[in-house]
Structures are given as structure tokens and as C-alpha cells.
């Protein structure tokens, strides 16, 4: 059964890698198709007559806005749209204000407004909360404000130009949204959901690995296996930034599949935080069992059975929790896990070894 377990752990990792690669290829194709679609604005004469050189903005929008996850595309597109509108309006006002002053006064007013809006908006970009969700929008705001304020065109020309540009940006955005959301959509929400559940599995594999390593049950390629286990543990430990950006994108994604409106994405971050703590405990446990101060292989065998029971139960519980998250069914915690934890706790109450205690506490 040991070998089987290992193969299972390995195949999960490989399977994930495979689908990840396929997804990347699909995404590349999608971007290619979106680029061709938006290039039709140039290539088809009747369309080109309509939009003219402004078609450039549609291409630019597709290249810049089309991201891997649907939520990221939506967030960037909406940010770009709002940034353009707000920046254009304020820029127009600044240009109007500057228009009344003389030639030099005009230049001074424009320069001052460019400086102050640019500096304030740049500072805002560095405020963590704004940076997280609206960074791109604020950047586009600065760009549009600057271009409009500086171009010194009359209000009516600006409005016409702005209208044309906005409509082509809208076309580019529409192409992005259409392809990103309707053709093999990559949902950040799915990714976060599956990631969170697979973290449980990785930690379960790690625990099993610890037990096997300590009692020397795995003899074959010793070099290779422990590293694999450690990498699973470490990938959980360093998942914070990925999780946060996925949760951020997931919030932008519309209702789909099993995720309703107001789905509690914050909970995933909380679970991730707890699992990271468990991962850090496992990592230090690993450091501990590799210590030269551990008893010899022979004397380890005396505590082998209870340790294996505890390790396998913990791994089983983690898998059970992960699966219940994955399948979105109520965890059978009350029926299955809670009594098991109770009995484990009782077993551990005999003062044995501080090591096991750590594990148990963190799961409980």
C-alpha cells in the first residue's frame, strides 16, 4: 500500500503539470485568435473606413488586457475603461481651464496640473489597497489625463477623438471578453478552489513521507523521494502571493458553475493561512527527524506502530477535508474526523514525544 500511495501522490503532481501546460497552449491560441479578430479592423476595408487609424487602440487593448485568467482580463479591461474615462474628463477640464489663460499661462497651468495629478496618482498607486485592485486603472488615468491635457485641442475635438478612441478600446475589450469568457474560459476561481484542495493532499503526502522516512520504510531511490515531499510542503508554504492574486481575480469573475454571487473567497485565504502554518510545522518536523540526535533505526521500531497510526490518520483526515472542499460537500468531520481526533488525543496523553504533539495541535 505504501508504494501505491506514493504513486498516487506523484501522479497527482504530474497530472496537474500536464493540465497546466495544456491550459497554457489553449491560452496562446486564444490570444492568437483575438489578435486576428481585432486585426480585421485593419484588414477589412469597410471596417477600416469606419474606424481608421484608431484601430491601433483596439489592437493595443487586446495585447495589454488579455490575461491568462478570465478575472484578470475583466479586471484589467474595466480598470482601463474607467481610467480612460476619468482621466479623459479631468484632462479635458484642465485643458479648458488652461485655454483661458494666455500662451505662457496656458503652459504653466498645464504643467502644474500634469505634475500634481501625476504625483498624487503615483502615490495612490503605491497604497497597498489601491495597488492590489486598481493599479492598472490609475496608470491609465495618468496616461490619458496627460495626453488629453497636454494636446491642447479644443474641447469639441477632444471629445470627438475621445469618443473614437473609447469606441475602439471598447471593441478590443469586447473581443477580449468574448474570447476569454466564452472559449475555454480559465477561471481564477476554479484554480483557487482546486489549489486549496490540493494543498491538503500535498500536506498529507508530506506527513506520510515523514513517517516513511523516519522508519526507513522507503529504501528505493532515497535521494529522489524526500525532495519531492519537501517541494510539496514548500510550495504550500510559499503559496501566499499566488493565492492572494487568484482571490483578487476571482472576485472580478462573474457568477459561473458552482460559485455563486458573493462567494466567500476570503475563506480560501484563511484556510491557506492555516495550511501554511501546518506546512511550516511539517518543515521543522522534517529538520527534527533528520537530526543526528535521533535514536537509532532499531530503537525507532519500538514506537513504529503508534506513530504510523497517527501519521496515516492525520494524512487521511487532511485528504478527507481537502476532498470535501473540492466536491463542496459538507465535511463528514463530526462523524468521521472528530472521534478520531479524540482517540488520537487520548493516545497522545501518555507522555511520549513532543513531536507528535505538535502535529496534533495544528490539525485540531
76: left (phi over 0), alpha (psi -120 to 50) or beta: alpha
The Cα 44–Cα 63 span in angstroms is 20
Between 10 and 108, whose beta carbon lies closer to a second copy?
Answer: 108
Stretch that binds a second copy, among 158-166, 177-185, 210-218, 279-287 (CB under 8 A): 279-287
Regarding 27 and contact with a second copy (CB under 8 A), the answer is: yes
Applying CB under 8 A, which of residues 13, 47, 63, 161 lies at the interface with a second copy?
A: 63
Regarding 185 and contact with a second copy (CB under 8 A), the answer is: no
In terms of Cβ atoms closer than 10 Å to its own Cβ (0-12, 13-18, 19+), residue 328 is exposed
Rg, C-alpha atoms of the chain: 28
Regarding 307 and contact with a second copy (CB under 8 A), the answer is: no
The three cell numbers of residue 174 are 469586447
Regarding 270 and contact with a second copy (CB under 8 A), the answer is: no
CB of 291 vs a second copy, minimal distance in Å: 6
68: left (phi over 0), alpha (psi -120 to 50) or beta: alpha
Applying CB under 8 A, which of residues 13, 56, 82, 228 lies at the interface with a second copy?
A: 56
Stretch that binds a second copy, among 6-14, 161-169, 201-209, 273-281 (CB under 8 A): 273-281
Stretch that binds a second copy, among 178-186, 299-307, 327-335, 351-359 (CB under 8 A): 351-359
Regarding 120 and contact with a second copy (CB under 8 A), the answer is: yes
Applying CB under 8 A, which of residues 143, 309, 326, 341 lies at the interface with a second copy?
A: 143
Please name which of 213, 238, 211 lies closest in space to residue 227, comparing C-alpha atoms: 213
DSSP lists the bridge partners of residue 256 as 259
Regarding 150 and contact with a second copy (CB under 8 A), the answer is: yes
The Cα 224–Cα 213 span in angstroms is 12
How far CA 37 is from CA of 54, 59, 174, in Å, comes to 15, 9, 11
Between 101 and 328, whose beta carbon lies closer to a second copy?
Answer: 101
Applying CB under 8 A, which of residues 12, 42, 251, 352 lies at the interface with a second copy?
A: 42
Helix (H) or strand (E) run with residue 101 in it: none
Regarding 361 and contact with a second copy (CB under 8 A), the answer is: yes
Regarding 161 and contact with a second copy (CB under 8 A), the answer is: no
Applying CB under 8 A, which of residues 28, 297, 301, 342 lies at the interface with a second copy?
A: 28
Applying CB under 8 A, which of residues 151, 301, 342, 343 lies at the interface with a second copy?
A: 151
Convert residues 74-113 into a mask of x (bound to a second copy by CB under 8 A) and - (unbound): ---------------------------------x--xx--
Regarding 155 and contact with a second copy (CB under 8 A), the answer is: no
Cβ contact 73:180 at 8 Å: yes
Regarding 142 and contact with a second copy (CB under 8 A), the answer is: yes
The three cell numbers of residue 263 are 462567494
The three cell numbers of residue 121 are 496618482
Applying CB under 8 A, which of residues 49, 224, 241, 329 lies at the interface with a second copy?
A: 241
Between 110 and 259, whose beta carbon lies closer to a second copy?
Answer: 110
Between 330 and 346, whose beta carbon lies closer to a second copy?
Answer: 346
DSSP lists the bridge partners of residue 259 as 256
Q: Which residues bind a second copy (CB under 8 A)?
A: 24-25, 27-29, 31-33, 35-36, 39, 42-44, 56, 59-60, 63-64, 68, 107, 110-111, 114-116, 118-120, 122-123, 126, 139, 142-143, 146-147, 150-152, 237-238, 240-241, 276-277, 279-281, 283-285, 287-288, 291, 293, 353-355, 357-358, 361-362
Amino acid at each position: 500500500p505504501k508504494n501505491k500511495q506514493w504513486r498516487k501522490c506523484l501522479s497527482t503532481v504530474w497530472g496537474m503539470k500536464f493540465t497546466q501546460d495544456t491550459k497554457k497552449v489553449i491560452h496562446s491560441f486564444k490570444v492568437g485568435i483575438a489578435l486576428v479578430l481585432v486585426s480585421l479592423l485593419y484588414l477589412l476595408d469597410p471596417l477600416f473606413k469606419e474606424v481608421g487609424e484608431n484601430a491601433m487602440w483596439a489592437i493595443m487593448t487586446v495585447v495589454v488586457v488579455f490575461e491568462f485568467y478570465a478575472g484578470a482580463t475583466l479586471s484589467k479591461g474595466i480598470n482601463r475603461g474607467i481610467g480612460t474615462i476619468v482621466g479623459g474628463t479631468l484632462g479635458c477640464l484642465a485643458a479648458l481651464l488652461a485655454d483661458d489663460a494666455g500662451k505662457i499661462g496656458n503652459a504653466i497651468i498645464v504643467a502644474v496640473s500634469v505634475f500634481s495629478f501625476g504625483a498624487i496618482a503615483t502615490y495612490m498607486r503605491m497604497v497597498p489597497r489601491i495597488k492590489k485592485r486598481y493599479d492598472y486603472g490609475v496608470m491609465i488615468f495618468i496616461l490619458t489625463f496627460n495626453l488629453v491635457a497636454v494636446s491642447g485641442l479644443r474641447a469639441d475635438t477632444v471629445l470627438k477623438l475621445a469618443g473614437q478612441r473609447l469606441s475602439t478600446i471598447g471593441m478590443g475589450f469586447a473581443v477580449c471578453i468574448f474570447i476569454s469568457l466564452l472559449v475555454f474560459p480559465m477561471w481564477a476561481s476554479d484554480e483557487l478552489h482546486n489549489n486549496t484542495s490540493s494543498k491538503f493532499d500535498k500536506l498529507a503526502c508530506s506527513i506520510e513521507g515523514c513517517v516513511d522516512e523516519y522508519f526507513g520504510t522507503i529504501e528505493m531511490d532515497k535521494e529522489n523521494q524526500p525532495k519531492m515531499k519537501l517541494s510539496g510542503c514548500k510550495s504550500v508554504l510559499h503559496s501566499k502571493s499566488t493565492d492572494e492574486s487568484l482571490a483578487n481575480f476571482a472576485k472580478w469573475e462573474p457568477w459561473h458553475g458552482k460559485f455563486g454571487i458573493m462567494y466567500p473567497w476570503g475563506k480560501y485565504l484563511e484556510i491557506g493561512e492555516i495550511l501554511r502554518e501546518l506546512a511550516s510545522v511539517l518543515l521543522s518536523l522534517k529538520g527534527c527527524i533528520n537530526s543526528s540526535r535521533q535514536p537509532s533505526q532499531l530503537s525507532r521500531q519500538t514506537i513504529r506502530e503508534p506513530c504510523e497510526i497517527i501519521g496515516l490518520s492525520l494524512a487521511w483526515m487532511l485528504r478527507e477535508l481537502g476532498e470535501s472542499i473540492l466536491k463542496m460537500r459538507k465535511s463528514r468531520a463530526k462523524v468521521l474526523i472528530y472521534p478520531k481526533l479524540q482517540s488520537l488525543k487520548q493516545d497522545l496523553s501518555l507522555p511520549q514525544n513532543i513531536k507528535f504533539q505538535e502535529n496534533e495541535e495544528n490539525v485540531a
